Structure 1
């Protein structure tokens, strides 16, 4: 009987010892998982420093030669007009002439036939300049060419910024700083101390019109219709605690 009691005690001690060893091993292989995850944000307003304006004009004739002569005259008028408004010739790009035959439907008994109806010739013009205000004004006054007889279709200007790479790096640094400060504040309020950075993921670079309700997009918004824009970026950061 006494032998059985001592055997039971020995087994119990062995079980407790094994549990302590296994518990210590589990703790060593599974470190603490307390983490702080924050998102840092940075945004900045800026003004575009490059403008692109595009337009096209068209002529129609029963012969290519007839329409081509008219569109060449239009090209000269357009170029001279732009130069007279202070646009340097090297900033003016005039495309090749596009030639498209035109057909019209004519009823012949109980069916319709496609009958040749001449040619449409079109040409594109583009102005790219860092003189944003000048080209912007020009795009609003271009109706003067229409009054002169040029069949012109003017597009709204597009606005760009040539220092986006530098701006993106600056915003990324500020977003990282913002995220770190947020994490430090959370740790402080929790009576803890912020540990090392475990991971950082950059968000999508977004460019929208200033003071607008323009939506962000998963691929990154890239506004070209507004001269004044807002750039923003986020950084998701994970810290040890």
Structure 2
């Protein structure tokens, strides 16, 4: 039979063991609770958009000259260049806003037929082409010119035009303003989520900017994963997204 002393020692040891288990369980539970709180997060996406009007227009085109003699072809191309430039200036475009590239040429062959329609040979001739571009902040004047430029066909100038392209020179400032809007929108969304779930918004963990999109205001073009950059429309809409992740308390 064990002595009283041994029994008392065992009882005391058991009590300490029980107390240790209780305290250990308590602190373990608190640790899990705190860990769960630290890992809680709210991820939101905010967006900002802005309508704006292009303040720069670019209009490109080219004209061509054909001649059997290369030197005469260059002379005629130079004459038509001067006549086209004068025509554009009369429409309100500054000469400094017009850039002409050097004329290029190709040597071609023209088919020759006799009176009965039989092919009897070929003769060489030259086709000279000269590209030009109008780049101006006076968007309305260039648009007016683009609608009237076909009138130079009556002067014997074989001209071809591309569709105008529209740009915005203050794009950097616009981006900064939109980032502010998108960030504020994202934070407001996060605050609503936190409040509705009975918590509060903690510190910002992560912030990532999405792609920047420019689309035509009245077009049906889709957004692109890599970002759209519309140049076809004068009236545009810019959109940007911001992804924020906050701690949740």
Give the TM bin, normalised by the shorter chain.
0.7 to 0.9
CA distance, structure 2, for counterparts of residue 79 and residue 105 of structure 1: 34
Q: Which residue is 1:146 aligned to? A: 153
Q: Contact 2:110/2:125 (CA < 8 Å) preserved in 1? A: no
Query: What is the TM-score when the length of structure 1 is the normalising length?
Result: 0.85
Which residue of 50, 57, 75 maps to 2:56? 50
1:188 equivalent to 2:195? Answer yes
The number of equivalent residue pairs is 232
What stretches of structure 1 of length at least 5 have no aligned partner? Answer: 107-113
Task: Decide whether aligned partners of structure 1 residues 93 and 17 sit closer, same or farther in structure 2, where only a CA change above 3 A counts.
Answer: same
Q: Which residue is 1:109 aligned to? A: none
Which residue of 117, 123, 131 maps to 2:130? 123
Task: Decide whether aligned partners of structure 1 residues 118 and 15 sit closer, same or farther in structure 2, where only a CA change above 3 A counts.
Answer: farther
CA distance, structure 1, for counterparts of residue 235 and residue 33 of structure 2: 56
Bigger-Rg structure (1/2): 2
C-alpha displacement of 1:120: 1.6
CA distance, structure 2, for counterparts of residue 76 and residue 203 of structure 1: 48
DSSP 3-state at the match of 2:38: coil
Q: Contact 2:38/2:247 (CA < 8 Å) preserved in 1? A: no
User: Could you give the per-residue CA deviations for residues 9-64 of structure 1, whole angstroms, max 9, x where no partner exists?
Assistant: 69x75994796476666667776321111100000100000111111001122231
1:39 equivalent to 2:50? Answer no
Query: What is the TM-score when the length of structure 2 is the normalising length?
Result: 0.82
1:179 equivalent to 2:186? Answer yes
CA distance, structure 2, for counterparts of residue 102 and residue 19 of structure 1: 95
User: Could you give the per-residue CA deviations for residues 98-151 of structure 1, whole angstroms, max 9, x where no partner exists?
Assistant: 122224799xxxxxxx96732221001111111101101110111111121100
What stretches of structure 2 of length at least 5 have no aligned partner? Answer: 113-120
Q: Greater shift after overlay, 12-21 or 187-196? A: 12-21
CA distance, structure 2, for counterparts of residue 26 and residue 173 of structure 1: 37
